[in-house]
């Protein structure tokens, strides 16, 4: 924020992206510790039923917050392009508009999600023995929606301006708080799964306070002031132009994943616990890739705003290549050590078997997932979020759900559920690669250039 260096706009391309991605990786790592700490402590202290309750809510959480995270991505692109174009007044307008929108979103989610989540869990076919704990966890979690939304907004603003270090510092603090509270409330006092959700939301509010304290300091270049938190219609339309397609994409894909989760639920509590443990590990395994893709979006946004098209193309190639290589190395390691890693979450033999089976099917195809996210990140940074939206809706939603609806009842085999991921990753990555190669996506910005 203060004296933010525009290092993404000049100098070494590889150095610019890596310099941004490394703190982002560690920040994402600590962020992932939130729910993983919940799962590890809950699984070991409260048992597999409690673990199933916590892990099975992940898809539902993303279903309800994914739309608004897409709006946040749109805001990040707008802020980064204005920043690259050195339009300081518009940067400030975009930041204040996004924060004002986030306050409204947080209030909406607090009411809507808390009331609707139990019904969605029922529609997902959550087993009766898991349902009470799942409802308990999800209600407490969404009572802290304001912290969740504002936390993501503040982090997104800092990262759009090229600052990935301070979000890292704040995430370290909040992650430590989360783990300590988990140990005290769940392990120490023996409270239920609601206490794990409480630990998460308290730690998120701490991050919000730290971020806002920094952004409201008088010496900040783009200082946040409460009296300026209002909607600018022109900026809001720019944010929606990028964010709405991504938000719709997130929500519909999340709905498709809820369908996937309901198919997993069909195979019982052990399948839920094992596949839930796999999902937590996959979140960690994919952190280097998500860090690179976030760096790519910011890099593309800032440099297109500055008109550096040749630099954008070179940076995109570097980012995509690194993402694919990292993904496959991680996938091979996960494939080899899956049994050991899954057992860290649960010692139930059947749950471990379900988790290992999913890891052995999916992990070697992580390069396809990385390709999809990398090409989508490039296009979003260029303001072309509709293309990834259509691609992912077609393959990650329509094909994925159709595959499950037809084959799962016919086979009654959970391996069919697991194979739907590599299949749809392959289709989406090939489609986005073709668009990336054969279109001139660099002649696109969200902002209007000054004459």
Predicted confidence at residue 99, as pLDDT, reads 94
How do residues 103-136 score in pLDDT, each as one tens digit? Answer: 998 998 888 888 887 887 777 677 788 888 888 8
Task: Name the CA dihedral angle for 24, 26, 28, 31, rounded to a multiple of 10 degrees.
Answer: -140
Q: Which long-range contacts (CB under 8 A, 24 or more apart) does 315-321 make?
A: 315/13, 315/16, 315/17, 316/378, 318/13, 318/14, 318/17, 319/17, 319/292, 319/293, 319/295, 319/374, 319/377, 319/378, 320/296, 320/371, 320/374, 320/375, 320/378
Q: Which of 353, 169, 381, 190 is nearest to 293 (CA)?
A: 381
pLDDT beyond 70 at 7 = no
> At 2, is the pLDDT very low, low, confident or very high (cuts 50, 70, 90)?
very low
Which residues 6+ apart lie within 8 Å of 152 measured at CB?
69, 72, 102
147-161, 213-227, 370-384: which range is least confident on average? 213-227
- Tell me what pLDDT residue 59 has: 66
Query: In this model, does residue 195 exceed pLDDT 80?
Result: yes
The whole-number pLDDT of residue 444 equals 59
Give the mean pLDDT of the chain.
84
Distance CA 369, CA 286 (A): 9
Q: Is 440 exposed, middle or buried (0-12, 13-18, 19+ CB in 10 A)?
A: exposed
The secondary structure of residue 442, as a DSSP letter, is T
* Distance between start and end Cα atoms, the chain: 28
DSSP character string of 83-134: HHTT-HHHHHHHHHHHHHHHHHHHHHHHHHHHHHHHHHHHHTT--TTTHHHH
CA neighbor of 1 nearest in space, from 153, 147, 149, 160:
160
Whether the per-residue pLDDT at 17 is higher than 90: the answer is no
In the block, which residue shows the tokens 């250039």?
449
For residue 426, what pLDDT band results from cuts at 50, 70 and 90? Answer: very high
> Of residues 63 and 251, which shows the higher confidence score?
251
The predicted model gives 136-144 an average pLDDT of 86
Q: Which residue has the tokens 């989540």?
A: 117
Can you tell me the mean pLDDT for 171-180? 86
Domain ranges of the chain: 7-438
Alpha-carbon distances of 220 from 80, 215, 400, rounded to whole Å: 17, 7, 46
In which residue are the tokens 């995509």 written?
320
Please state, for a pLDDT cut of 70, what percent of the chain lies above it: 92
The pair of three-digit structure tokens given for residue 90, joined into one six-digit string? 């518009």
Burial of 32 (0-12, 13-18, 19+ CB in 10 A): buried
**What are the backbone dihedrals phi and psi of residue 299, each rounded to the nearest 5 degrees, phi first?**
-60, -50
Residue 54 half-sphere exposure toward CB, CA atoms < 13 A: 30
Distance of alpha carbon 221 from alpha carbon 98, whole angstroms: 17
Calculate what percentage of the chain has a pLDDT beyond 90.
20
For 382, the token pair is 């260029």
Which residue has tokens 């979020």?
A: 385
Position 61 pLDDT exceeds 80: no
- For the four alpha carbons of 176, 173, 71 and 310, in that order, the dihedral sign comes to negative
For residues 368 and 426, the answer to whether their CB atoms sit within 8 Å is: yes
Q: Which of 9-23, 235-249, 310-324, 407-421 has the highest mean pLDDT?
A: 310-324
For residue 284, give both structure tokens.
């960690």
Whole-angstrom Cα distance, residue 364 to residue 367?
A: 8
**CA proximity to 30, closest of 212, 204, 174, 205:** 174
pLDDT at 1: 44
* 352 and 274 Cβ atoms separated by less than 8 Å: yes
Distance CA 125, CA 122 (A): 5
Looking at residue 445, its pLDDT comes to 58
Q: How far is CA 394 from CA 39, 256, 435, in A?
A: 32, 11, 15
Rounded Cα distance, 81 and 94, in Å: 11
Collapsing DSSP to helix, strand or coil, 28 comes out as helix
DSSP letters, 287-304, are: HHHHHHHHHHHHHHHHHH
pLDDT category at 321 given cuts 50, 70, 90 is very high
Which 3 state secondary structure label does DSSP give 158? helix
């Amino acid at each position: 924020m203060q004296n933010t260096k525009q290092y993404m706009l000049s100098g070494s391309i590889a150095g610019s992206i890596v310099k941004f991605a490394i703190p982002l990786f560690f920040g994402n790592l600590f962020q992932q510790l939130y729910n993983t700490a919940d799962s590890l402590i809950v699984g070991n202290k409260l048992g597999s039923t409690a673990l199933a309750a916590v892990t099975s809510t992940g898809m539902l959480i993303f279903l309800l917050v994914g739309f608004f995270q897409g709006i946040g991505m749109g805001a990040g692109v707008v802020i980064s392009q204005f920043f690259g174009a050195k339009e300081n007044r518009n940067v400030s307008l975009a930041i204040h508009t996004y924060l004002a929108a986030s306050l409204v979103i947080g209030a909406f989610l607090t009411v809507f999600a808390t009331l609707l989540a139990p019904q969605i869990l029922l529609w997902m076919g959550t087993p009766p023995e898991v349902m009470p704990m799942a409802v308990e966890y999800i209600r407490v979690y969404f009572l802290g929606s304001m912290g969740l939304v504002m936390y993501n907004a503040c982090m997104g603003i800092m990262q759009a301006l090229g600052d990935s270090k301070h979000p890292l510092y704040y995430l370290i603090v909040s992650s430590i708080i989360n783990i300590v509270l988990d140990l005290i409330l769940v392990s120490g006092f023996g409270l239920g799964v609601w206490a794990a959700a409480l630990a998460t939301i308290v730690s998120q509010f701490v991050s919000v306070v730290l971020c806002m304290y920094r952004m409201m300091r008088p010496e900040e270049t783009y200082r946040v002031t409460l009296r300026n938190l209002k909607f600018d219609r022109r900026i809001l339309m720019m944010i929606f132009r990028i964010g709405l397609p991504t938000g719709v994409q997130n929500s519909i894909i999340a709905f498709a994943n809820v369908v996937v989760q309901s198919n997993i639920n069909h195979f019982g509590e052990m399948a839920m616990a094992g596949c839930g443990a796999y999902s937590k590990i996959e979140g960690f395994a994919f952190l280097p890739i998500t860090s690179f893709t976030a760096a790519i979006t910011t890099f593309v946004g800032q440099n297109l705003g500055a008109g550096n098209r040749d630099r954008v193309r070179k940076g995109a190639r570097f980012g995509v290549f690194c993402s694919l290589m990292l993904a496959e190395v991680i996938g091979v390691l996960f494939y080899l050590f899956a049994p050991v890693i899954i057992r860290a979450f649960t010692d139930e033999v059947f749950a471990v078997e379900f988790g290992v089976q999913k890891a052995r099917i999916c992990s070697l195809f992580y390069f396809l997932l990385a390709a999809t996210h990398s090409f989508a990140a490039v296009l979003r940074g260029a303001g072309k979020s509709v293309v990834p939206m259509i691609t992912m809706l077609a393959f990650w939603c329509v094909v994925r759900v159709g595959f499950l609806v037809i084959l799962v009842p016919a086979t009654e085999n959970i391996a069919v559920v697991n194979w739907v991921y590599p299949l749809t990753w392959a289709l989406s990555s090939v489609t986005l690669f073709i668009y990336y190669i054969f279109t001139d996506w660099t002649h696109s910005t969200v902002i209007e250039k000054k004459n």
